Structure 1
Amino acid sequence: MAEVDDGFTRDLLQELLWAYGPCGQEDAVRDVCGREVGPHAERTWTDAAGNLVARIGGADPEAPATRILAHLDELSMLVKRIEPDGRLRLTPLGTMYPANFGLGLVAILGDDETICGVLALGSEHTTQETPHVWRTKPDQGDKALDWPDVHVFTGLDPEQLAKSGIGPGTRVCIDRSKRDLIEIGDYLGCYFMDDRAAVLTLLLLARRLTATGRRPAGDLHLVFTTNEEVGGVGAAYACRTLPGDLTLAVEVGPTEAEYGTTVTGGPIVAYSDAQCVYDKGVADRLCDVARNLGYAPQAAVLGAFESDASHAKAAGLSPQAGLLCLPTLSTHGYEVIARSAITAVTDVLVDFVVQI
């Protein structure tokens, strides 16, 4: 693949996007991150919550420690039950609906084997005798498609599924065949930029500090967290067990008129979301750093949005919190970012941690 602006190949972003990382089973993504961040950290480890933590020592032993978080997990599904004919019924892991990713191929991550299935609704060529299809037709019931309406066709019976280690609790992900990174002019698109593009900025932050010889003001913990999509569980544990009062989450950020944000603009700096009001001093500093680098930061008051940092602050686990976002079209759908967004957020992170 060709090189992106920051000097890294898109192969790394593609590898992150291809890796399955359902909530509570983020091993494949964590392995990639561990391989990449390890050479640039004094120490890396996986904690009891499954978070990957990379410690980078600060220049001033008296300066406070900082935590920067990006989450490993992705929107995914959980097998709720298996029907007698081998169809899987699902419940979502995270806030999404079948329409977010569309009907089609899924990967069923059995204990002993990963198999392919098809997320299906049923034939559109049906009448009221097929109520779950009928009520979702735009010209009939006009009801939004929801999880009770769909199933996964496996082509296997329950006994065969059991031999693959598939049952209630098995994770189901959008298949790798639907995760190819595409180029749209000056933009990159794929499912699961949330939060793989943000994960990449943390890896680049570590790489950049090594390459330039710069050091964070105080000890820096880069935390690649688990279970963000189901309540920021990994982040809560990290904030409870790691030193420091400041938690900064890096995320995708919605670009909508209601927030005054655009995908063509600079990094988004949140002043609040649905879980907490972020610290004004932290947000102001992020904006100042961005402006000093020549970017046009987009201040935003977000609704219907939560982050690892806001969950931690709302739970009383982090006295200070901030949120820095890559401007993103169609968050929790087929997500599109500017090619320059990864570079811009990385630049802001580097100067922010050095100046704290």
Structure 2
Amino acid sequence: MATVSVGAVRPDDTGQADEGRAQLDLLQELLWAYGPCGQEDAVREICRRELAPHVDELWVDPAGNVVGLLRGAKSHDGDRAPVTRVMAHMDELSMLVKRIFPDGSLHLTHLGTMYPGNFGLGPVAVLGDRETLRAVLTLGSEHTTSESPRIFATKPDQGGKALDWSDVYVFTGCTPEQLREAGVHPGTRVCVEAGKRSLVTFGDYVGSYFLDDRAAIVVLLETARLLCDRRPAGDVYFVFTTNEEVGGVGGSYASRVLPGDRTLGVEVGPTEEEYGTSVAGGPIVVYSDAECVYDKAIADRLMQIGADLGTEPQAAVVGAFEADPSHAKANGLTAQAGLLCLPTLSTHGYEVIARQAIPDVTAILTEFLRH
């Protein structure tokens, strides 16, 4: 199994380096776990294991969300503090078998907003009901002419068409009978294979597919650990949600059924000139996205905490972006909503964050919930 390097350790920062190494090790474990929309079982088990020591109650709700309750310091006195639901999603961008060809190849559609070029051609894991198969997402040979129109249209010196799901297929090397025995059928999930999901460290940055939203999961788990000893003011529900990439389903359900009027999300945040954000900058506080306008008082408070902590937070209004709290607010399932993001290069692709992003976002979230 691959190892994760976190760089040299100076004699005066051994404790901090050990903490950073533990966070990256956990992040790597989460990245290797398959979590397609609606089938987040492997990620769910890691979240349950890591959250259990730091909350007062833990359960899995009917939507498949992992929910941990940490009771606040003021939960039982007359000056009851607000209840907060804080969320990160467990699911990842993935693919779905649409049909099986007579030669055992698979035609796919997408689960979440992405194109084949987001992850490239190469190995995939086909999550059959009885067996997980390794296969290859492929287009076909570049050495073809107009007699192969599906391939020809995508060649840069010919049609130059961007790859779409109708252009690619999965070569399984199996017969349809073997696929049936493995439990592969229309509706079977297909994920980028674990061999392409190793965390890469370079300079002050780390990169991998699916930092969305595994890096945010690490933030929530670390926040729960820190708040366990110094209780937050009010009750906090840590919610690890399902099916965010296909409409914020789990987060909307949790916002509807759990106590409280406030939903806060932790996500990756796009770093583009359009939004005035940078992957080298501090945590991103979102004031508006494609689904809702977030509550100004919450966003302003997050910005102030970030500034007080010296993290140089970035305020942003983003488009073509949705998250659990914005889905919940847009559908009237929460009265108040906020969103705190890790600055991320190439969201929904090969994603890159600064090493400092996880501790900085954790610090802001922890301080917000404490007070």
Alignment TM class, shorter chain as reference: over 0.9
Distance 1:278 1:65, change over 3 A: same
1:69 match: secondary structure: strand
Distance 1:207 1:14 in 2: 19
Pick aligned residue for 1:346 from 354, 358, 362? 362
**Contact 2:227–2:370 under 8 Å retained in 1:** no
1:145 paired with 2:163, answer yes
Return the letter of the residue paired with 1:169.
G
1:33 paired with 2:47, answer yes
Pick aligned residue for 1:172 from 179, 190, 203? 190
Structure 2: gaps (5+ residues):
7-15
Distance 1:140 1:115 in 2: 35
1:185 paired with 2:199, answer no
Pick aligned residue for 1:219 from 218, 227, 235? 235
Pick aligned residue for 2:92 from 60, 69, 74? 74
Deviation of residue 64 (structure 1)? Answer: 1.8
1:98 paired with 2:98, answer no
Distance 1:263 1:194 in 2: 14
Alignment of 1:36-55 (within 5 A): 36-55=50-69
User: CA RMSD for the aligned pairs?
Assistant: 1.0
2:320 match: secondary structure: coil
Return the letter of the residue paired with 2:301.
R
Pick aligned residue for 2:317 from 301, 308, 329? 301
Q: After superposition, give the CA deviation of every residue in 1:148-169 in whole Å (9 maximum; x if it has no partner).
A: 1000000011111000000000
Distance 2:285 2:53 in 1: 30
- The aligned residue for residue 20 of structure 1 is 34
Alignment of 1:83-162 (within 5 A): 83-162=101-180
2:356 match: secondary structure: helix
Distance 2:20 2:147 in 1: 57
1:240 match: secondary structure: helix
- The aligned residue for residue 11 of structure 2 is none
Q: After superposition, give the CA deviation of every residue in 1:123-171 in whole Å (9 maximum; x if it has no partner).
A: 0111111111111111111111000100000001111100000000000
**Contact 2:86–2:266 under 8 Å retained in 1:** yes
- The aligned residue for residue 319 of structure 1 is 335
What's the TM-score once normalised by structure 2's chain length? Answer: 0.94
What's the TM-score once normalised by structure 1's chain length? Answer: 0.98
Return the letter of the residue paired with 1:81.
R
Deviation of residue 7 (structure 1)? Answer: 4.0
Query: Alignment length, in residue pairs?
Result: 353
Distance 2:32 2:359 in 1: 21
Distance 1:115 1:29 in 2: 19
- The aligned residue for residue 253 of structure 1 is 269
Return the letter of the residue paired with 1:59.
A
**Contact 2:5–2:201 under 8 Å retained in 1:** no
Deviation of residue 324 (structure 1)? Answer: 0.3
Return the letter of the residue paired with 1:78.
L
Return the letter of the residue paired with 1:291.
A
Q: After superposition, give the CA deviation of every residue in 1:75-108 in whole Å (9 maximum; x if it has no partner).
A: 0000001001100000000000000000000000
Pick aligned residue for 1:272 from 280, 284, 288? 288
Distance 1:243 1:151, change over 3 A: same
